[in-house]
A and B are shown apart, each in its own frame.
Chain A
Amino acid sequence: MPKGTALDKQGRLKDRPAMTDTTLLLSITIVVFFLLYLFAVFALGGSFAKPQNFLNILNNNAALIVLSCGMSVVMITGGIDISVGAVTCLVCMTCAVNLEQQGGNMATVILIGLGIGLAFGVVQGFLVAHLGIQPFIVSLAGMFFAKGMTTIVSKEPVRVTNEGFLAVKDTRITVPGLGSPNKLGQYIPAYVEVGVIIALLVVVLLFCMLRWTKLGRSFYAVGGNNQSANMLGINVRRTKFLAHVLCSVLAGLGGILYFLHVGSGDVANGAGDEMNAIASSIIGGTLLTGGVGNVLGTFFGVLSLNTIKRIVSSLGFDEAWWSNITVAAMLCLFLVVQSVVLLRKNTSKQ
């Protein structure tokens, strides 16, 4: 399968394809998201039309956005990291214990979160890149370790009452011009939480990095073809190592954001988020084979995933199992569409 990105990298090639795989999959995702949301607004109306409803998707999923972006980076290099959900949980629990029982403050929380992420990233990255162990097995062990450590830190849920922390948690940033009147006619401004701003910043930074920096482009090159990347003079091991470190640090950051959103440490925090992150990345057009993907797509992937969850629950299927079944169905649809589109594109080229 010729990779569009490989051609993209040596931009001077004359028969450069009109559209790379990455752009094609990205546009499908964005179109689908807008169709979904428009469908929701017109068919279900009411709450979906309110801007705050849209912003709440962001508020509830700031952590998932960050996790998914990290996942996309690793997936672009051809790896995978299934430890992110468990790392999120470990960070939440450790931060909660630190704030409640050890008199920590916001600074220590941030240090702990990023530190745990960095530690996981360095170990996992080393095992994957330098010892050549399959990323799935390495991150599987990472997931087990983080899950076990969480219960060693504390088995009981820890609710945080630290004032400095609660002040940050409850900070709401008003979005000008998007408010709507409530039933009493009072004007309620639309707001986002602090986490959303950080998550959006991460998306923009990663987008720029993947697109314009040497490191970002070497991620694509390594994922597209290990050997040719090596011949181009890219340090494949170092690149893979950095991808895993980046992903785990983002998982740590995701943990902090999750903690900021829920305000407690619990062994059930972030459960299943690794699969949500993988699903969002795939819906966003990242291929597990590597070399193709975009964090902007991942961002829309998270939004699509949660929009469809909301649509299903507001259609009246509010039993717990429907949400999972719809996510699975959506994942299935996207995978089949991607596979068919890419297959067609590649056969028509030959």
Chain B
Amino acid sequence: MSTVKNPETQVRRPDESLFKRLTRQQLFIPVAALVLLVLFNLIADPSFFMVSIKENSLGNPVLSGNIVSVLDNASELVILAIGMTLVTASSGGQDISVGATMAIAGSVILRMVCGGQVSADTMQMPLILAVLIGILATMLCGAFNGALVAYFNIQPMVATLIMYTAGRSIAAWINNNQLPIINDLAFKYAGTFLPGIPVPTPIFITALVILAFWLILKFTTLGLYTQSVGINANSSRLNGLDPKLIKLLTYVILGVCVALAGFIRVSRSGSINYSRIAENIEMDAILAVALGGNALSGGKFNIYGSILGAYVIQFLTTTLYKYDVPSTALPAYKAVVVILLVVLSAPVVREKLANMKKAPAKAAKEVS
């Protein structure tokens, strides 16, 4: 299922122009957006793409540059977008609670490694165990969301509104509203650099997650079942699938993704701010799914489209930062770009554009 194509794209009609064939591809929009952004940066300031080696505060040589920072900072978003794609495909709706549950994951992990104290100099618990407990916590949140969606037939956005409202408060509650700080350098390896390796660790974690999902989708029926449930839950049931269980499963999988993203985010700084951590990231994650050419109403999906979409969003953010757009005004610029992209990808507009290209050709034919 790795590259789901529109049935129409597979039938090549000889009279279609290359342009039209290209625009029909699902990945057309994210790739075009990425190309535009790259071109813009190349023309405006080629030094954007410079990668240099600098020493970080610990004296280790590390890679630095805008491209590295795009790949690094997009990590959480990419991991979330993967889970969000599955949820979107199976249930035809989005989970808007991912930012809030990331706060829960971060809070749980910090509480575990700090052993319940406000600050700790060494980890009180093996890191892997703390992360596993964090994953368990967000899997529970995912199961709660999934159960509401699958077994109570509540629209996903509304069902996850509950977690969205309560999540950050629960995260604060877990730590009694204190802000635990961990000063152990080993904790920050996952969010910054492993000693001796110049590439930021989140890039490796993201690559591993992408690899894991590639394997899962290749060797299990998860992808096929998810699409089948998303396209028609009733007929999937008649074919012997359990649509409710599969929907629930996708939400639990998203829970795992959320915990990993939350872990990366807290280990970047070693602390947490409940109301601000991963703020608005749910919006970016949904946007990544939409940018990747996936229908937000569910059904067929292309996970690589979403991954590409996530990188495009981060690329855009970094570009805007480079041109000194204040971080508070950033959303306004982002919104304009988003609107342009979705308008261009709207079926109505695409059809009109294609017709405009066709019309002069037709007229020329008639004349001759």
Contacts and interface: CB of A to CB of B under 8 A. Distances in A.
A339 B153 contact: yes
A149 interface: yes
B339 A335 contact: no
Nearest to A267: B328
Nearest to A287: B155
Contacts, number: 131
B165 A147 contact: no
Contacts of B316: none
Interface string B337-349: 0110011001111
B151 to A, nearest CB: 9
Interface stretch (A24-32, A61-69, A124-132, A174-182): A124-132
Interface string B285-305: 011001000001100000000
A287 B157 CA distance: 12
Nearest to B274: A321
A322 interface: yes
Interface of B: 94, 148, 152-155, 157-159, 161-166, 168-170, 172-173, 177, 283, 286-287, 290, 296-297, 326, 328-336, 338-339, 342-343, 346-349
Contact of A325 (B169, B286, B328): B169
Contact of B169 (A141, A148, A320): A320
12 contacts: A130-B348, A132-B348, A133-B343, A136-B296, A145-B331, A145-B336, A147-B332, A279-B165, A325-B173, A327-B166, A335-B148, A336-B154
Interface of A: 80, 127, 130-134, 136-138, 140-145, 147-149, 151-152, 155, 267, 275, 278-279, 282, 287-289, 319-325, 327-329, 331-332, 335-336, 339-340, 343
Given A327-B165, A328-B163, 18 more contacts: A131-B346, A131-B348, A137-B286, A138-B339, A140-B338, A141-B338, A147-B331, A148-B331, A288-B157, A288-B158, A321-B169, A321-B170, A321-B177, A323-B169, A327-B166, A335-B152, A336-B154, A339-B153
A321 B331 contact: no
Contacts of B343: 127, 131, 133
Contact of A335 (B158, B287, B297): B158
Contact of B152 (A130, A323, A340): A340
Contact of B286 (A140, A142, A332, A340): A140
A227 to B, nearest CB: 15
A339 B152 contact: yes
Contact of A138 (B158, B328, B330, B342): B342
A151 B332 CA distance: 9
B195 to A, nearest CB: 38
Given A133-B346, A140-B287, A152-B329, A319 B177 contact: yes
